[in-house]
Structures are given as structure tokens and as C-alpha cells.
């Protein structure tokens, strides 16, 4: 079980490295700018850390950027079953452009991230295969949902319909964590769901 809940992301190369550890082949992620020649594709190398054992990835409204790349890649390849709530939707690529003479730099959005099947993450996020909502204490209900990328002022618009934020609450006591319990019950065979175990043979070719 890979827990990416409330993981705000990090470097692209680390997302590729984590995804590559569980994939034998195929695309992990692509970045696409305005022009076709600006497209970059990042592919997996042979070798699976777990020798093809079924995986589960936990996500929620606080999972963003690099963590969404990992979840999207493993989901598209049917390498993992994704459980939880829809992720944040941070799927844009920023390029740092120096302004010269040490006078600062400009952060410019230059591309979008796409999953192996061609889904854009931007302002949409990754939807789980199995949605699991947590029981939130009454005193926290007003502040346990993230707004999501689509609700941020000046965000890069999605291609198609945008999605709002989702639940990001994780119970402090693991015994109350419904998403974690669902994952463990599936692994142990206590609970059954058609989405688990994932079947790489049904993955969308790329």
C-alpha cells in the first residue's frame, strides 16, 4: 500500500523514479506545451521492485503534482488500484527563467502533465477506482476539504470539465482510517471489489 494522501508533490524526476520502480515498461508521464515539438515523454525501464505483486495507492484532496503523476501512471497501467478521494489537480509545468544580473527569476507555466492514457491532470485531478470517504468530526467538517486547483484564482484552465476539491481528512488514529482499512481488507481478502487486484493486461496501450 502506497500512501500519497496529503502529499503535495515534489520533483518530476522523483515521481518518475517511484513509478518506474513498479512498472516493467510503457510511458509514465508526458509533458505537452503549446507546440507538438515541445512534447516530452518519460518511459519506464524493465524491472519491478515487487515482482508484479498487486498494489494499492491511497490519495485524497491533498495529493498534488508529483503524487498525482505516480497515482495516474500506476492507475493507467492497471498496476495499482487507487483508493480514497479525488486528488488536487495540480498538473501544470513551471519553468524558471532567470531575469539576468541576479535580479530574480520568472516562474512561467509552459506545459501540462498527462498520464499514460492521455488524461490531463490540470484542474481535474485523479479520480480513485474506489472512493472512500472518512468520518469527519463535527468540529472539523468546515475545513477538511481542499479547494482544489480549479478553485484557485488565475489557475490554468482544464481541457474540458473542471473538478472541484475533495476531502483531505485523515483520522489521527489508524483504527478510524476507513481508506486504509479498505486497502488492508482488500489485500487480506476480507473485502472484495472488482477493481482489485488490478490487472495490467487490461491497461490502455500507449
Specify whether 65 is catalytic.
Answer: yes
DSSP string of 5-26, one letter each residue: TT-----HHHHHHHHHTT-SSS
Helix H or strand E segment including 115: none
Q: How many CB atoms lie within 10 A of CB 153?
A: 4
Catalytic choice (3, 20, 76, 129): 76
Catalytic choice (3, 19, 30, 90): 90
Rg (the chain; Cα; Å) = 18
Specify whether 76 is catalytic.
Answer: yes
158's grid cell: 482544464
Q: Give the 3-state secondary structure of residue 175.
A: helix
Catalytic choice (63, 65, 67, 92): 65
Q: How many CB atoms lie within 10 A of CB 148?
A: 24
Specify whether 168 is catalytic.
Answer: no
Could you list the active site residues? 65, 76, 90
Amino acid at each position: 500500500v502506497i500512501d500519497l494522501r496529503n502529499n503535495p508533490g515534489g520533483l518530476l524526476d522523483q515521481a518518475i523514479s517511484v513509478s518506474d520502480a513498479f512498472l516493467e515498461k510503457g510511458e509514465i508521464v508526458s509533458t505537452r506545451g503549446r507546440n507538438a515539438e515541445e512534447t516530452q515523454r518519460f518511459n519506464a525501464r524493465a524491472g519491478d521492485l515487487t515482482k508484479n505483486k498487486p498494489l494499492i495507492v491511497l490519495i485524497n484532496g491533498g495529493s498534488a503534482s508529483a503524487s498525482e503523476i505516480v497515482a495516474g501512471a500506476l492507475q493507467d497501467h492497471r498496476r495499482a488500484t487507487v483508493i480514497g478521494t479525488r486528488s488536487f489537480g495540480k498538473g501544470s509545468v513551471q519553468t524558471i527563467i532567470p531575469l539576468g544580473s541576479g535580479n530574480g527569476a520568472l516562474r512561467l507555466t509552459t506545459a501540462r502533465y498527462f498520464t499514460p492514457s492521455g488524461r490531463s491532470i490540470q484542474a481535474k485531478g485523479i479520480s480513485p477506482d474506489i472512493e472512500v470517504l472518512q468520518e469527519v468530526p463535527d468540529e472539523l467538517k468546515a475545513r477538511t476539504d481542499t479547494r482544489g486547483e480549479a478553485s484557485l484564482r488565475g489557475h490554468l484552465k482544464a481541457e474540458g470539465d473542471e473538478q472541484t476539491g475533495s476531502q483531505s481528512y485523515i483520522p489521527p488514529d489508524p483504527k478510524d482510517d476507513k481508506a486504509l482499512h479498505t486497502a488492508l481488507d482488500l489485500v487480506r481478502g476480507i473485502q472484495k471489489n472488482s477493481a482489485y487486484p488490478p490487472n495490467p493486461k487490461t491497461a490502455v496501450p500507449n
